[in-house]
Amino acid sequence: MLKKYFVIIILFGTCLLLVGCNPSKDEVVQNLMPEKELNYAYALQVFCYQVDVRKIGDELNRFQNSSPDLQKEFQVQLLAIDQEIIKKWAHALGIKKFPTYLILNKEDGIVLQTKDMEMAKKYLTEHSTNGER
């Protein structure tokens, strides 16, 4: 009898995985956190359309390369919402307009969410090694 329930639970779990459950906000935040092994203080995650990836990426690359402190402080990831999983992540976070810039740290999770690239740059500059941390 116990074996029968175990099989039913396994089948139900498999069905949920195949159908593709929507992730929770906490699960998404965990996936977006700065990678521990890379030792960055922050992760800048940009939710945007695929057509904007290059333009935004070039601008953020110039910004990050403008200072050795900035190069050490944060990692950048561009997340194209044209991909289904990224669209689900945006939905879980309540993001409806793009591009949206998220800055996360290891202790607090999301510390800034904005649609303004300049505001994201300002936050990262102020919190860099030579800034006010």
Answer for the pair 45, 102: CB distance below 8 angstroms, yes or no.
yes
Per-domain boundaries in the chain = 23-126
Residue 92: what residue type?
Answer: A
Q: Give the residue carrying structure tokens 């977006």.
A: 32
CATH for the stretch 23-126: 3.40.30.10
Length of the chain: 133
Answer for the pair 27, 109: CB distance below 8 angstroms, yes or no.
no
DSSP H or E segment with residue 27: helix 25-32
Dump pLDDT digits (tens) for 53-100: 999 999 999 999 999 989 999 999 999 999 999 999 999 999 999 999
Answer for the pair 112, 101: CB distance below 8 angstroms, yes or no.
yes
Dump pLDDT digits (tens) for 2-55: 444 443 454 444 444 444 678 999 999 999 999 888 889 999 999 999 999 999
